[in-house]
Structure 1
């Protein structure tokens, strides 16, 4: 809930009573019509949308009379349909702008609060089938229901609620708030080829429910001593500015341990705060304070907001940054989850230090969004229209590195191509986990020439729905 509305409700409770407060609110609020909300959508997109020049319906002189404008707004039965019609190439370029009917829920997502059962997973087709599906747990969130139940990365499930997963039912079964996972055994039959692999149900199962959960994005830190080299490992899952101090503390730990190499695990990091991404770059380095880290630019209406993010030695309101002064960093990636601010870090550090990417091609997104409200200032709740709770999270800016290079829409190509395999996911932070092991091998090897590390054939992955803001980069 926004601060303004929290204060309003609190004052009502203190001065009157809960019942009379809501009576008064109901009396004062004039609820907005669909056309009035559509008016907010169009005017806001006209003002802030990054790709406004590419959308004919958003040009300033699109309508010659107010009658023509109102007829246009009336053509759309909902704010959602109007909003979707204004997105630029939504299948390829703007896959990320979203509209929300309740800005309180949106703010919770931005703050890292969501409904979660504590697991993330990949889905694959069963070898030899184009319709049968199984899943592999890739991440168990700390202090979650799943961790309390003892679930671990690498567990395989073949069915949900006793039904084998397939093309027709997996979305319905896995998107409910409560379900039971039926586990299975994965057998490679002793070969690197996946064609002869089998997935067989066993007798184990667990019931999970989604509950309100706030994730600490610093999932795991390790200091690994390998052949006389101190290697820092950080699994970082979201650029959440609420945890800037905790992120800085992790680098204090690395500095105190004498870390000279760093593996930054962003394989499940879909993005977040632009400013936090700049802080992370400054923690990795330290020798470029005051230099341009990244550039953010807006459409012509907001061009006065264009800004350069700099390498810095301090966190605003949070003290000095703990820097490692490294000239090289290893970054672990995956093709569905490494996005936006994670890609910004790779792209922005690359002109300054060696960035060795191990994993898969990234998503391909460095556009930034910001929450837009129906208020005079658009980016603030001050004076917000209480007649509805719609808000938008449209792309409003794009980001380049110091050399004006964008992350390509097809994503960043890894230096070492290596995919996670459900038959050998390993333990995150363990020296034998395949992606981390590849980084360690490269760090300690005399010959660091890059090659294609994938040896086995890949399983065919099942497309999954991207959760709201899962791949977002936003402006605080």
Structure 2
């Protein structure tokens, strides 16, 4: 049971087109007040913390210990809103913002901010410590990143790395990071790295068992133009010694759209890795092909899709279900008890989005209007991808899962920027049209039929099948795709399905031998939208 992470380690129509299930608009949907730039060298006195007393967050926003100067290249070179402040201002903004918007704000301990050496260290503990019924952390999605990194990834899918999508089997000894896929024309592709290759060493350090996690983490999460020496082992046992130099790489979120014949039925297949704006045209092309070929069945390969923009998930739902989904609820957000008046629903979306202008167009998306869809899943299937599963089930489209249990993220956020850092803190939970959202431990392919089921559960009809790294994605011999084709033909699952080693569920930043998983918050999340802006 692996988890997937990308190779670099997704407030109104602009805000609407963003929430992770995000960014958009001139400031890409970041919650940040447009306070005038005032880079005075004399900051005001640091604010004082009083236990359980929370002043409004806007009293502290944009007061920065290290204010930026000049213009923002991602916002038409408008002046940065930063003003001279202190680290305590930044911590107090995080504290009040969390108390105002965090879904489980009443489960956050109010620790003295002065006890923490840095702003980000303080942010890391501004979260619930409760657990899911299966014993996992309830909030596994608390992240931060630089403003520049956010902008590159959120709009264009650009991240710094080698072009490798990792399947993370274990972060602790014996560690196992296996290549899930490789971006074309990337450093990894040019070095001959392929799906199924496993890391055995980085910069001369044994990856599987060494306690030198600093060296390993430096190689896994490089800055731009950093060379690192890797040793990989192929599926056949071949050793590959390569030096990879990191670079900014634009991801290819939609791949391998094809139509094939299986038992006199036309089956469409497409691999879809991320709900970002650059994916829209690829999905349009794929579903135009499927509609032209009049497919009978559809296989969506979302085993490595960690999420992104909810509005794009609503678009995908329409492309699958067609007119039967129009004017029906795709997902409803539920907020904390301070914000219940803001709760909204998102409908299935049939329109193409003009992303450069953050506006809907009159152009309609192609749709195959199917009553059933097969979705290939692993623990890397999360957030907005899970919204698709849940949203379609909410309008009685039959969903059949092939693979492993999904990640379990019925939550999302609107990225919030302050002083050059973008913070991701859970702000809403999701439910479908039937009011179901109880899948914090993931959707599980159950092998059972949903016929006659009273109410929905997290068990979804389908087959538990191990991810198959010995075959290319999209191959009819690859285990998950082959199982889907068998189920389409016979309604049965493979006789035997053995899982890969279970993913390590401990905290990823834990000391004592755990490496840090390379990831991107905007990718591994669901970005929310608000429907009242749909006509702007």
TM-score by length of 1: 0.78
Indicate if the aligned counterparts of 2:307 and 2:381 stay in contact, CA closer than 8 A.
yes
SS in 1 for 2:180: strand
Indicate if the aligned counterparts of 1:119 and 1:138 stay in contact, CA closer than 8 A.
yes
Question: Which residue number in structure 1 is paired with residue 434 of structure 2?
Answer: 403
Quote the Cα distance in structure 1 between the aligned partners of 2:125 and 2:204.
41
Pair member with larger Rg: 1
Say which of 372, 379, 393 aligns to 1:350.
393
Q: Against the structure 1 CA distance between its residues 416 and 46, is the aligned structure 2 distance closer, same or farther, given a 3 Å change threshold?
A: same
Task: Please show how residues 122-201 of structure 1 align to structure 2 within 5 Å.
Answer: 122=167, 131-133=173-175, 135-169=177-211, 171=213, 172-173=215-216, 174-175=219-220, 177=222, 178-184=227-233, 186=235, 200=237
Q: Would you say how many aligned residue pairs link Structure 1 and Structure 2?
A: 412
Higher relative contact order structure (alpha carbons within 8 Å, sequence separation ≥ 6): 2
Question: Which residue number in structure 2 is paired with residue 338 of structure 1?
Answer: 381
Question: Which residue number in structure 2 is paired with residue 234 of structure 1?
Answer: 270
Q: Against the structure 1 CA distance between its residues 134 and 39, is the aligned structure 2 distance closer, same or farther, given a 3 Å change threshold?
A: closer
Quote the Cα distance in structure 1 between the aligned partners of 2:265 and 2:126.
53
Task: Please show how residues 13-412 of structure 1 align to structure 2 within 5 Å.
Answer: 30-55=83-108, 57=110, 72-89=112-129, 92-100=137-145, 102-111=146-155, 112-122=157-167, 131-133=173-175, 135-169=177-211, 171=213, 172-173=215-216, 174-175=219-220, 177=222, 178-184=227-233, 186=235, 200=237, 202=239, 204-286=240-322, 287-316=324-353, 317-318=360-361, 319-335=363-379, 337-351=380-394, 352-374=396-418, 388-412=419-443
Say which of 417, 422, 426 aligns to 2:471.
426
* Aligned: 1:467 with 2:508: no
Question: Which residue number in structure 1 is paired with residue 47 of structure 2?
Answer: none
SS in 1 for 2:427: strand
Kindly provide the CA deviation profile for residues 69-99 of structure 1, in whole angstroms up to 9, marking residues without a partner as x. xx94434433223323320127611111223
> Per-residue deviation at 1:56?
5.8
SS in 2 for 1:233: strand
SS in 2 for 1:410: coil
SS in 2 for 1:301: coil
Q: Against the structure 1 CA distance between its residues 301 and 104, is the aligned structure 2 distance closer, same or farther, given a 3 Å change threshold?
A: farther
> Per-residue deviation at 1:411?
0.9
Indicate if the aligned counterparts of 2:144 and 2:421 stay in contact, CA closer than 8 A.
yes
Q: Which one has the bigger helix percentage?
A: 1
Quote the Cα distance in structure 2 between the aligned partners of 1:207 and 1:264.
34
Q: Against the structure 1 CA distance between its residues 106 and 231, is the aligned structure 2 distance closer, same or farther, given a 3 Å change threshold?
A: same
Q: Against the structure 1 CA distance between its residues 185 and 153, is the aligned structure 2 distance closer, same or farther, given a 3 Å change threshold?
A: closer
Q: Against the structure 1 CA distance between its residues 133 and 398, is the aligned structure 2 distance closer, same or farther, given a 3 Å change threshold?
A: closer
Q: Against the structure 1 CA distance between its residues 170 and 404, is the aligned structure 2 distance closer, same or farther, given a 3 Å change threshold?
A: farther
Kindly provide the CA deviation profile for residues 183-227 of structure 1, in whole angstroms up to 9, marking residues without a partner as x. 43546xxxxxxxxxxxx554x422212211121311221111223
Question: Which residue number in structure 2 is paired with residue 377 of structure 1?
Answer: none
> Per-residue deviation at 1:473?
0.8
Quote the Cα distance in structure 1 between the aligned partners of 2:258 and 2:369.
18
Kindly provide the CA deviation profile for residues 321-356 of structure 1, in whole angstroms up to 9, marking residues without a partner as x. 111110110011112x11111111111112321111
Unaligned runs of 5+ in 1: 9-19, 58-70, 188-199, 375-387
> Per-residue deviation at 1:133?
4.8
Kindly provide the CA deviation profile for residues 271-322 of structure 1, in whole angstroms up to 9, marking residues without a partner as x. 0111111110000011221111111122233323311111233234241011
> Per-residue deviation at 1:260?
1.5
Unaligned runs of 5+ in 2: 1-22, 29-33, 36-68, 72-77, 131-135, 354-359, 446-461, 506-515, 530-536
Deviates more, 1:28-37 or 1:230-239: 28-37
Q: Against the structure 1 CA distance between its residues 83 and 261, is the aligned structure 2 distance closer, same or farther, given a 3 Å change threshold?
A: same
Deviates more, 1:206-215 or 1:464-473: 464-473
Q: Against the structure 1 CA distance between its residues 273 and 123, is the aligned structure 2 distance closer, same or farther, given a 3 Å change threshold?
A: closer
Quote the Cα distance in structure 1 between the aligned partners of 2:234 and 2:149.
38
Indicate if the aligned counterparts of 1:343 and 1:407 stay in contact, CA closer than 8 A.
no
SS in 2 for 1:395: coil
SS in 1 for 2:374: strand
> Per-residue deviation at 1:156?
4.4
Indicate if the aligned counterparts of 1:122 and 1:461 stay in contact, CA closer than 8 A.
no
> Per-residue deviation at 1:106?
2.4
Question: Which residue number in structure 2 is paired with residue 381 of structure 1?
Answer: none
Quote the Cα distance in structure 1 between the aligned partners of 2:321 and 2:238.
48
> Per-residue deviation at 1:30?
4.3
Q: RMSD of aligned C-alpha atoms? A: 3.2
Say which of 465, 487, 506 aligns to 1:442.
487
